[in-house]
Amino acid sequence: MSDQLDPISKAIRIQTSKTSQKEHSTPLYLTSSFTFENAETMRAAFADEVDENIYSRFSNPNVDEFIAKMCALEGAEDGFATATGMSAIFSSFFALLKQGDHLICCSSVFGSTFTIVTKYFPRYGITCTLVPADDKAAWEAAVQPNTKMVYLETPTNPQIGIIDLEWAGQFTKKHNLILNVDNCFATPVIQRPIDFGADIVIHSATKWIDGQGRVLGGVIVGRADLVKEIYLYCRHSGPALSPFNAWVLSKSLETLDVRMERHSKNALKVAETLEQHPAVSWVKYPFLPSHPQHEIAKKQMKAGGGVLCFEIKGGSAAGAKFLNSLKMLSVTANLGDTRSIAAHPASTTHSKLTEEERLSVGITPGLIRISTGLEHVDDIIADINQALEQSTK
pLDDT in tens, 315-344: 888 998 999 999 999 999 899 999 999 998
Task: Share the mean pLDDT of the chain.
Answer: 95
* pLDDT number for residue 70: 98
* Cβ–Cβ under 8 Å, residues 80 and 231: yes
DSSP string, 11-55: HHH--PPP-TT--SSPPP---SB---SSHHHHHHHHTTSS----B
| Enclosing H/E stretch for 309 | strand 307-312
Q: Count other Cβ atoms within 10 Å, centred on residue 65.
A: 21
Answer whether residue 267 shows pLDDT above 70: yes
Nearest to 73 by CA among 264, 229, 209: 209
**In whole angstroms, what separates CA 277 from the centre of its chain?**
30
Residue 119 CA: distances (Å) to CA of 111, 129, 294, 351, 376 = 12, 13, 33, 15, 42
Per DSSP, the three-state class of 169 is helix
The answer to whether residues 175 and 147 touch, using CB atoms and an 8 Å cutoff, is yes
Summarised one tens digit per residue, pLDDT across range 65-103 is 999 999 999 999 999 999 999 999 999 999 999 999 999
Question: What is the residue type of 301?
Answer: M
Structure confidence at residue 176 (pLDDT): 98
Q: pLDDT tens digits, residue range 198-223?
A: 999 999 999 999 999 999 999 999 99
How does 96-114 read in b/e, with b if 16+ C-beta sit within 10 Å? bbeeebbbbbbbbbbbebb
CB 72 within 8 A of CB 7: yes
Task: Express each pLDDT in 288-312 by its tens digit.
Answer: 999 999 999 999 999 999 999 999 9
Query: Tell me, what DSSP letter sits at residue 351?
Result: T
175, 197 in Cβ contact below 8 A?
no
pLDDT at 1: 67
Q: Model confidence at 147, in pLDDT bands (50, 70, 90)?
A: very high
Is it the case that residue 154 has pLDDT exceeding 70? yes
> What are the tens digits of pLDDT across the range 124-145?
999 999 999 889 999 999 999 9
Under 8 Å between Cβ of 346 and 363: yes
Q: Label the pairing between strands 218-222 and 78-82.
A: antiparallel
Cross-sheet strand order for the sheet of 78-82: 78-82, 218-222, 200-204, 178-182, 147-153, 102-106, 127-131
Question: Do 55 and 32 meet the contact criterion of CB atoms below 8 Å apart?
Answer: yes
